[in-house]
């Protein structure tokens, strides 16, 4: 299963997510320069359990290197597809989790998930001399947090069937639940000898779940509000899906449309799609300048049809996000 996008909106620019992706890109370029078969590099900066438990190996590495490796391993990758896969999953799920935690806490969350995932692998393979590398464990933590925070979000997923791609929207709790189950099956089954640190993925996912719970009990410092002033998106998505409701017998329909405070002042145009089973028509909606929170926009003739052939109207309630 390959995720294409999710439908969970994010109101803030994911600064830390993009910084982490940028660091991974720079390190990957460095790896290209030095070569992916450079064992000295991977043993120096990868997570090698034997570096901490086997004397014949520990004597070759300083305490600084041993501590640094706990962080550096999660920015290394074994090849192009390993790198692309990790960055794509971070791109899909990172923005919403960062918005929940706030930029600074998300950075700490990401690094802690990476460390805990490495510890899971270490505890189950304490004398392994194989370097463990990759952002998978930390990103598994992001996925665990997403699983808990946005279970009803929908993930547009492509499932290859022989040579034909099948596109389907899957609820996040099912997509991520199946992903976790696959990791577990591989960890305890035939995949255990494949060279992939399955237990690191499992450890990262569980860490993500636990840290979401822990974060609820931590006091707020106020730094997130300061950073949010600069990271808040100035505009809402151009295309929005509107889920409508109405009375059983009445022809009129009601829904909500999101705009930003800047769009409320200046006015804007949006495209909305209203799902009717498999049919999802598109409508253009003009938001006039100066609208207020709760303003109702009337779309004449876009409601339900009544027996005499006359169609009702649709009313969209304006929801101004990040109002100033």
Name the residue among 179, 224, 222 with its Cα closest to residue 204: 179
Say what the pLDDT of residue 323 is: 46
In this structure, what is the dihedral angle of CA atoms 128, 143, 260, 218, given to the nearest 10 degrees?
A: -80
Distance CA 28, CA 133 (A): 12
What is the SS3 assignment for 312?
coil
Instruction: Give the single-character DSSP code of 305.
Output: B
Per-residue pLDDT, 196: 81
Report CA dihedral (247, 253, 256, 261) to the nearest 10 degrees.
-130
User: In the prediction, which pLDDT does 120 show?
Assistant: 92
Sheet with strand 239-241: strands edge to edge = 239-241, 268-273, 282-287
Cα–Cα distance, 300 to 237 (Å, whole number): 23
Q: What is the pLDDT of residue 278?
A: 47
* Pair 47, 121: CB distance under 8 Å: yes
Cβ atoms of 244 and 252 within 8 Å: the answer is no
Q: Three-class SS of residue 14?
A: coil
What pLDDT, on the 0 to 100 scale, is given for residue 260?
84
Q: Give the pLDDT score at 29.
A: 96
pLDDT in tens, the chain (324 residues): 889 888 887 878 899 999 999 999 999 999 999 999 899 999 999 999 999 999 989 999 999 999 999 999 999 999 999 999 999 999 999 999 999 999 999 999 999 999 999 999 999 989 999 999 999 999 999 999 999 999 999 898 888 877 777 788 899 999 999 999 999 998 887 655 556 888 999 999 999 999 999 998 888 777 777 777 777 777 777 777 787 887 767 788 888 888 888 888 889 998 887 765 445 567 788 999 999 999 999 888 877 777 777 788 889 999 887 644
How many Å apart are CA 239 and CA 271, to the nearest integer? 5
What's the pLDDT at 121?
Answer: 92
Q: How far apart are CA 285 and CA 215, in angstroms?
A: 39
- pLDDT at position 192, please? 56
Sign of the alpha-carbon dihedral angle for 138, 142, 148, 153:
negative
Measured in degrees and rounded to the nearest 5, phi and psi for residue 32 equal -60, -40
Cα–Cα distance, 78 to 76 (Å, whole number): 7
**pLDDT number for residue 244:** 80
Pick left, alpha or beta for residue 220 (phi over 0 → left; psi -120 to 50 → alpha; otherwise beta). Answer: beta
The C-alpha angle with vertex 85 and arms to 84 and 89, in degrees rounded to 5, equals: 115
Q: Where are the beta strands (DSSP E) in 162-267?
A: 164-171, 239-241, 253-260
Q: What is the structure's pLDDT at 322?
A: 63
CA dihedral 26, 27, 29, 32 (to 10 degrees): 180
Cα 138 to Cα 151: distance, rounded to the nearest angstrom = 19
What was the pLDDT predicted at 173? 94
Walk me through the domains of the chain, giving residue ranges and CATH numbers. 2-230 (1.20.1540.10), 234-321 (2.60.260.20)
Q: 3-state SS of the chain: helix, strand, coil percent to 5? A: 50, 20, 30
What phi and psi values does residue 306 have, to the nearest 5 degrees?
Answer: -110, 165
């Amino acid at each position: 299963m390959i995720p294409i996008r999710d439908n969970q909106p994010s109101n803030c620019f994911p600064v830390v997510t993009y910084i982490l992706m940028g660091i991974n890109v720079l390190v990957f370029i460095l790896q290209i320069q030095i070569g992916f078969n450079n064992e000295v590099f991977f043993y120096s900066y990868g997570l090698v359990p034997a570096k901490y438990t086997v004397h014949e190996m520990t004597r070759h590495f300083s305490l600084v290197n041993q501590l640094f490796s706990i962080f550096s391993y999660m920015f290394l990758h074994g090849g192009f597809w390993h790198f692309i896969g990790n960055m794509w999953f971070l791109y899909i799920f990172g923005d919403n989790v960062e918005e929940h935690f706030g930029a600074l806490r998300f950075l700490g969350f990401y690094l802690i998930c990476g460390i805990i995932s490495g510890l899971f692998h270490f505890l189950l393979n304490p004398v392994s001399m194989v370097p463990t590398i990759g952002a998978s464990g930390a990103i598994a933590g992001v996925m665990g947090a997403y699983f808990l925070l946005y279970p009803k979000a929908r993930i547009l997923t492509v499932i290859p069937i022989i040579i034909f791609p099948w596109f389907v929207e899957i609820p996040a709790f099912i997509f991520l639940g199946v992903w976790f189950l696959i990791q577990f099956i591989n960890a305890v089954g035939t995949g255990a000898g494949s060279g992939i640190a399955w237990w690191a993925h499992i450890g990262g996912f569980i860490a993500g779940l636990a840290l979401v719970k822990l974060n609820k009990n931590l006091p707020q410092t106020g730094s997130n509000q300061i950073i949010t002033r600069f990271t808040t998106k100035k505009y809402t998505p151009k295309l929005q899906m509107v889920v409508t409701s109405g009375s059983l017998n009445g022809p009129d329909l009601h829904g909500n449309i999101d705009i930003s405070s800047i769009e409320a002042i200046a006015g804007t145009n949006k495209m909305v799609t209203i799902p009717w089973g498999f049919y999802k028509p598109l409508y253009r909606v003009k938001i006039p300048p100066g609208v207020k929170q709760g303003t109702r926009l009337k779309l004449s003739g876009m409601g339900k049809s009544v027996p005499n052939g006359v169609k009702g109207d649709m009313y969209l309630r304006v929801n101004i996000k990040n109002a100033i």
